[in-house]
Structure 1
Amino acid sequence: MGIVKFRTMNYLGVKKTSLSEIPDGWEMEELNNILMIVKDKYTPDKKEDICCLELEHFEQRTGIINGWCSSSTQASVKNAFKKGQVLFGKLRPYLQKYWLADFDGVCSSEIWVLTSKDKKTLDNRYLFRMVQMHRFIQAANVSFGSKMPRSDWEYMANIPFPLPPLPEQQRIATILSTWDKAIAKEQQLIKTLEIRHRALMQQLLSGKKRLKGFKDEWKAFKFEDVLAKITNGVTYDTENTIGIPVTRIETISSGIINFSKIGYAEQFANQEDYRLKYGDILYSHINSLSHIGKTAIYLDEKPLYHGMNLLLLRVNDNADRNFIYYWLNSKAARKVAQSLAKPAVNQASISATELKRILLDLPTLPEQTAIAAMLSTSDNEIQIHRRRLEALQQQKKGLMQVLLTGKVRVKI
């Protein structure tokens, strides 16, 4: 990205406003004075097919289009937008969804199409950053309407925002776009690595691809043959906020053990029987059907106890625990588990007995270990880039905080 040089704001050159201190040359401007909502209507022509964006086409808090949009010929009158205008979801569930349009199209009436009133006063690229400010989001969250709450422009229109001169706006927008490009590049790389990882899992865990040096035949096993332990967790009061840390369904929702999403239980006599050991696998056996079979492996030393609605799987000496963990996460294993699950009104379930009967083909233990090591290396590469992505996102967040408030000035 190169080095961006900043100079800190000279506080001798600060002027006070009724709301805050801003640098000399900046103004506090009410939104109504500098931007407007575009209300150009578009009536679909049956002969014409133009991209029509709905709120669900925006990824939460990213401003990125998912890549799909519906045909405008399927909808009634919509709002038209043009390349360079800013789209912002005003309906309560979709607040903080925004996009700087890079093509012309039409969108749902639940999306504001925003643009500068005067290009000499406000650059739309800077406007795109303004709608991401805490001040803007906070105002947008003051919603109106009972059934489907939505932001109210009449309320927001008179809220003042710090506004730098146009050249500084443009420079700030350019700097932040550098971070956007780096973030987008990292996100694309992660997607590519994830696709490669899934393909590698499918080939290695099925035996379609063999590692060099291994030629022995794979053998069929029942799942129970590779388990030293398979148990349900302890029942506890979900309202507890103190006590021993216990797992719950949310603890493994992201595919890892998330200690920020644990529960707590009062101490009990045989609690050590429920304490997780290094390498234990947690398995979601009561969940919505699409989440049945989700797993996470415990690779930590922090005390954590096995809670309800998850099965604990402890692998025996017949198998490599990491291999079994990856096998459980394979598309084939998830598909088998979901086919065995019994659906209910809001969730489905698979019993420990049914899980034990699942058949799997296993290579020799040394080959299992080698396969698990290769998949672990691939997994670790993805995690490294996820951490890089998180660091870039935090850097951008910090930059926005100081640049959009004038706490740090940029060289023009």
Structure 2
Amino acid sequence: MTAATTVQLGEVASLSRDVVPPESVNQDTLYVGLENIESGGGIAGVGTVGASGVTSGKFVFDERHVLYGKLRPYLAKIALPNFCGVCSTDILPVLPGANLDRRYLAYFLRVPANVDLATSRSSGANLPRLSPKELMNFSIPLPPLEEQRRIADVLDRVDALRAKRASVGHNSRLLLQSVFVQMFGSPSEIPDRWPLRPFDHLVSEFRYGTSIKSGEIGYPTLRIPNIVAGSVDVDDLKLVDVSLAELGRLRLVDGDLLFVRTNGNPDYVGRCAVFDSADMSRQGVFGADVIYASYLIRARVNSDLVHPVYVREYLNGPIGRSSMRERSKTSAGQYNVNTAGLGSIPIPVPPLDRQQRFVESVTGVERTWGVQRRALGELDALFASLQHRAFRGEL
């Protein structure tokens, strides 16, 4: 990489912060809320101003901007829109100047060290926000524009490989749902084919996780990022030191269901995975007591009535997702579900032997996805290394 000067972001980019009143915006204009930007840069579920019920002033953006989520910056909601529209004022539209490549800027802002820096410079205990001034004070290496584009091209290629690997997981989920429909019926058929019982009638215990911060020692602790595509992923596993009494309450056992209870994207709230110690071992976590953090809810099901894998697939399917969204509440751009909401979801209960046959039929699919998931982890590590090197002048 050609030697780069370091400048403040405000010297090479500007913020588009002119607030547009709702009555002056066409109802068909696309609206991006904080919940529509995924951690890592995806944009999903975008609607129009009219459909979203916009009632307050918004920022205008177009295809030239980087959209930066200033609320809870640790979520790394940093996106590159390929359309124009208006966005929540909790999103800062950053307009790169003539000497700054938009993709290069987005990758720079997503570097974990810069996400951590933004978090450290935020204010507000419960709803931390990064001020526009602090963002524009960030120091950014500025090689020639051609070099910026070369770096962005390299990162784009690895990112595309990561997306391709991740799509295998998505397709695996679709296959599992197809098998589910074959064995238990379509969404319209299920309620009439099997008796319905509230989820809390099938669970021996709901329990929230620990709120103790992670450190250098302690027990492996699962968090929101570890619940991926219906499975537990041990990438970026943290350690939390808890008392023996707390360990007894939070220790995970095979078959425990773990639910994400809060997220900026309503489609992610309530997503769940089944804890499996054998799968943990395959991922390199051997024989350790594993616990979970406070933004997860554990449900320990009654195995005489339901199999946890069956429950997971039902709740990750269309009826389960719809039931979860109905019970989610929103506050400051975050959606939340609690144990009362989870417990009230009606679950169809087919005979246990049929559930077991379903579980046996999906085992091979999950093993294949496990192999792909480990390959994705290697790509993620490569991408993180390239990110780190790119902005240190070593790529």
- Specify the TM-score bucket, using the shorter chain as the normaliser: 0.5 to 0.7
| Structure 1 segments unaligned to the other structure (5+ residues) | 1-8, 10-22, 208-219, 221-229, 339-344, 352-357
> What SS is found at the alignment partner of 1:106?
strand
Deviation (angstroms), 1:69: 3.0
Deviation (angstroms), 1:376: 0.5
The one of 393, 396, 399 aligned to 2:386: 399
8 A contact 1:91–1:148 mirrored in 2: yes
Q: Distance in 2 between matches of 1:395 and 1:305?
A: 27
The one of 301, 306, 310 aligned to 1:327: 310
Please give the residue correspondences for 1:74-223 in structure 2 after superposition, counting only pairs within 5 Å: 74-92=54-72, 96-117=76-97, 119=98, 121-134=99-112, 136-141=114-119, 142-144=121-123, 148-204=127-183
Deviation (angstroms), 1:107: 0.9
Deviation (angstroms), 1:381: 2.4
Gap change, CA 1:362 and 1:47, over 3 Å in 2 = closer
| Structure 2 segments unaligned to the other structure (5+ residues) | 187-193, 195-202, 263-268, 324-336
Q: Identify the residue that residue 347 of structure 1 maps to in structure 2.
A: 339
Please give the residue correspondences for 1:256-405 in structure 2 after superposition, counting only pairs within 5 Å: 266=244, 281-282=255-256, 295-299=274-278, 302=287, 311=300, 324-331=307-314, 347-348=339-340, 360-361=350-351, 371-405=358-392
Paired residue type of 2:351: D
Q: What is the alpha-carbon root mean square deviation over aligned residues?
A: 5.2
> What SS is found at the alignment partner of 1:84?
coil
> What SS is found at the alignment partner of 1:112?
strand
8 A contact 2:7–2:140 mirrored in 1: yes
**After the TM superposition, which of the residue ranges 301-310 and 172-181 deviates more from structure 2?**
301-310
- Count of matched residue pairs: 333
TM-score norm. by structure 1 comes to 0.62
Paired residue type of 1:116: P
Q: Identify the residue that residue 30 of structure 1 maps to in structure 2.
A: 8
Deviation (angstroms), 1:168: 0.6
Gap change, CA 1:59 and 1:359, over 3 Å in 2 = closer
CA deviations over 1:145-169 (Å, ceiling 9, x no partner)? 5674421233443443221111111
Deviation (angstroms), 1:327: 3.3
Structure with the higher fraction of residues in helix conformation: 2
Q: Identify the residue that residue 330 of structure 2 maps to in structure 1.
A: none
Gap change, CA 1:260 and 1:294, over 3 Å in 2 = same
Deviation (angstroms), 1:359: 6.0
The one of 23, 27, 33 aligned to 1:54: 33
Gap change, CA 1:180 and 1:361, over 3 Å in 2 = same
Deviation (angstroms), 1:374: 2.8
Gap change, CA 1:306 and 1:174, over 3 Å in 2 = closer
8 A contact 2:227–2:272 mirrored in 1: no
Which structure's CA Rg is the greater one?
Answer: 1
Q: Distance in 1 between matches of 2:30 and 2:54?
A: 11
Q: Distance in 1 between matches of 2:219 and 2:154?
A: 44
> What SS is found at the alignment partner of 1:329?
helix
Q: Distance in 2 between matches of 1:396 and 1:184?
A: 12
Deviation (angstroms), 1:387: 2.6
> What SS is found at the alignment partner of 1:80?
strand
Gap change, CA 1:93 and 1:167, over 3 Å in 2 = closer
% identity of equivalent residues: 22
Q: Distance in 2 between matches of 1:393 and 1:165?
A: 27
> What SS is found at the alignment partner of 1:131?
helix
Paired residue type of 2:287: K
Paired residue type of 1:361: P
Paired residue type of 1:102: N
> What SS is found at the alignment partner of 1:391?
helix
Q: Distance in 2 between matches of 1:140 and 1:131?
A: 9
Q: Distance in 1 between matches of 2:135 and 2:312?
A: 47
Paired residue type of 2:314: K
Deviation (angstroms), 1:383: 2.4
CA deviations over 1:93-143 (Å, ceiling 9, x no partner)? 6652111121111111221111222x2x21222112222234543442202
